[in-house]
Chains A and B, each alone.
Chain A
Amino acid sequence: MSTLSRKDVSHLAHLARLAVTDEELDLFAGQLTAVLDAVAQVGKAAVEDVPPTTHAVPMTNVVRQDAARPCLPRDVVLAGAPAAEDGRFRVPRILGEEA
């Protein structure tokens, strides 16, 4: 049986850019271990030579005419942003102070 420790959950949360509290780590480690145990049942299926299904509908690439179409006005889009500046999304700094 697979288990997810607090440390595992903390690592996975970091990979997903998700801060988690200590209480959440305690709660999720137990709950996710139980869920993982249940979903691990997929391993019981005999699937040699069975191809995976990524999509229920056969997918082919869809192309359209390469013609310009109107898009949303910049100010309308930026109106929904948490921060904007000079007609752009404003983001927190990406590089460290020294960079």
Chain B
Amino acid sequence: MSIRDGEARASIAGSASDRGAERVRSGAASADITSMDVHQLQAALADGATSVEITQAYLDRIEATDGSFGAYLHVDPEAALARAAEIDAAGARGTGLNGVPIALKDVVVTEGVPTTSGSKILEGWKPPYDATVAARLKAAGTVLLGKTNMDEFAMGSSTENSAYGVTRNPWDPERIPGGSSGGSSAAVAGGLAPWAIGTDTGGSIRQPAAVTGLVGHKPTYGSVSRYGLIAFSSSLDQAGPMARTVLDAALLHEAIGGHDPLDSTSIDAPLPLLAECARRGADGDLSGVTVGVVRELGGDGHTDGYEQGVLDSFTAAVARLESMGAEVREVSCPAFDLALAAYYLIAPSEASSNLARFDGVRYGLRVGDDGSRDLDEVMALTREQGFGPEVKRRIILGTYALSSGYYEAYYGQAQKVRTLISRDFSAAFGTAEDQGVDVLVSPTTPTVAFPLGARLDDPLAMYAADLCTLPASLAGVPAISVPCGLSEGLPVGLQIMAPALADDRCYRVGAALEAALTADRGDRGFLDQLTLPPVQGAAA
């Protein structure tokens, strides 16, 4: 079932009065717009293009093609165009992010705009406030295109756990777009948004970015506010950017990051200069940078479950980093072998507690309240009908891991393993006296996008998609995924991990790799290799 706001399509724009609008109304020019990165859109806006015409181009493409991708849960063309017109009228476009459209994962609460977190239990709910991420993007002048599909409560690696249907990968519609931020990844890869916000608890930004050929960054834990993100696992959740280029990701990260008094875990420290590091990185000089290749993530003796094509792309990309002057060496992080086990105890435990708020009292669904049942029964029925199978599995697993008699053996032990993982990172990154590596790298995912349905009945196989992304989540360190090649025609991502608060290193090394591979291919960017369906009959 779709909850898309449907019919008010785009011809209401009133934009015909703007001379620039006519210029880009033709399908070809519209395709131009939706294949631009945000840096180029900013230039177009500064050069006289209006936010209305840019927003219109995306809405046209959404209308024409999202029926087959399923990237969005909610699109309100009228509101988006009104907002774009407001930015145009204010005369602010061409500066900063004013007038640039964006999509938000549906886990981000948005005032007055339906927000479901991919769950039936929140169907139809309109939040009474904006998440800090949404508020900052609004204040920066961005235009909200819509809310994107996701695994229910961000639990999954394929977006197949959404209560509202699957999202398809624009590279191959029979394959998953990754998850849980799969609506955001499909939207950006499919030209349905220039960039998007995702959230990452164990890899939910990086893995979908990797399998759709995007850049996705999970910031240092605490550096982007969690206020207004519907909580899954509070000690792990972070929002971050998903974009076509490293520079775009850095621009978006700067727009949402920084201290927020409304989030008690928010770090009160200035963000490093991210966009500047991305620009500097694109110069391609990595001399003085030491790169550690994590043996436990696809290295010798740790290749079980990894596709050869992924490992080949990864190895070639690492050689490219070396050719730009980086010093490369292998690093061992033995506790990473236990990251999956620790994560799938800690995250479900926190989830079982966080999801207790969905009790059918303050918001969302209530089932069975016909006067014959008491509160407990209504609550249990509401949760039975409101939650999907993966959410139920994790609530039950978390309840078990936290229960008396099992707590120490499971949850307590997992927390200690978490300490060991952090220690492995610390040892790898070294200290002032004992020089370690500047960044750690690995494949982002063991495999390319797998076929829809392939892992749906096997939770453990689904969890294995997060193998490489979990250590950085557990340690709270930043990590970015950057496209590094194709295997069997499908994108492969390279993950770059850095010490806490050194997100700038991810952007610098990522931009260097991106620039080198773009030059090697001779195209404008990785997504140039993806052919998208044409937009026919765009609004005239």
Contacts and interface: CB of A to CB of B under 8 A. Distances in A.
Interface in B113-152: 125-129
B221 interface: yes
Contact of B338 (A16, A45, A54, A82): A45
B429 to A, nearest CB: 14
Contacts of A16: 352, 356, 383, 395-396, 399
Interface string A45-80: 101001111111101001010000000100011011
A81 interface: yes
A40 B477 CA distance: 25
A15 B406 CA distance: 15
Interface in A16-41: 16-21, 24, 27-28, 31-32, 34-36, 38-41
B418 to A, nearest CB: 4
B192 interface: no
Given A42-B338, A42-B342, A56 B422 contact: yes
Shortest beta-carbon contacts, A-B, top 7: A56-B476, A52-B415, A82-B366, A19-B384, A47-B416, A19-B380, A53-B418
B519 interface: no
Nearest to B342: A42
B396 A93 contact: no
A87 interface: no
Nearest to B352: A16
Contacts of A35: 344, 393, 397, 459-460, 463
Contacts of B410: 39-40, 42
Interface stretch (B76-84, B181-189, B261-269): B261-269
Interface stretch (B40-48, B64-72, B369-377): B369-377
B125 A80 contact: yes
Given A42-B338, A80-B363, A18 B374 contact: no
Interface in A76-99: 76-77, 79-83, 89, 91-96
B420 interface: yes
B298 interface: no
A7 interface: no
Interface of A: 4, 8-9, 12-21, 24, 27-28, 31-32, 34-36, 38-45, 47, 50-57, 59, 62, 64, 72, 76-77, 79-83, 89, 91-96
Nearest to A29: B396
Contacts of B459: 31, 34-35
Nearest to A31: B459
Nearest to B464: A38
Interface string B373-391: 1111111110110010100
B340 interface: yes
Contact of B128 (A21, A39, A80): A80
Given A38-B341, A82-B366, A93-B375, A32 B413 contact: no
B323 interface: no
A16 to B, nearest CB: 5
A50 B477 CA distance: 20
A62 B393 CA distance: 34
Contacts of A52: 412, 415-416, 418-419
B235 interface: yes
Main secondary structure of the interface of A (DSSP, over half): loop
A57 B362 contact: no
Contacts of B335: 45
Contacts of A81: 361-363
B415 A92 contact: no
Q: What class of interface size applies to chain B in its complex with A?
A: 35 or more
Contacts of A80: 125-128, 362-364
B102 interface: no
B338 A57 contact: no
Contact of A64 (B261, B364, B377, B397): B261
Nearest to B359: A17
Contacts of A12: 396, 399-400, 403
16 contacts: A4-B400, A8-B400, A21-B384, A24-B389, A36-B400, A38-B341, A38-B344, A38-B460, A52-B418, A53-B422, A55-B476, A56-B476, A57-B222, A77-B128, A77-B362, A93-B375
A24 B395 CA distance: 13
B115 to A, nearest CB: 10
Contact of B396 (A19, A28, A42, A45): A28
A42 B414 contact: yes
B26 to A, nearest CB: 43
B393 A82 contact: no
A68 B342 CA distance: 41
Contacts of B345: 39, 42
Contacts of B474: 53, 56
Interface in B425-461: 459-460
Given A38-B460, A59-B265, A80-B126, A45 B417 contact: yes
Contact of B235 (A4, A27, A55): A55
Given A16-B352, A32-B396, A93-B374, A45 B365 contact: no
Given A39-B342, A62-B264, 18 more contacts: A13-B396, A16-B383, A17-B376, A17-B379, A18-B387, A19-B380, A20-B392, A39-B397, A39-B414, A40-B410, A41-B341, A42-B345, A45-B338, A52-B419, A53-B474, A55-B235, A80-B362, A82-B363
B540 interface: no
Nearest to A82: B366
B360 interface: yes
B168 to A, nearest CB: 26
B409 interface: yes
B403 A15 contact: yes
A32 to B, nearest CB: 6
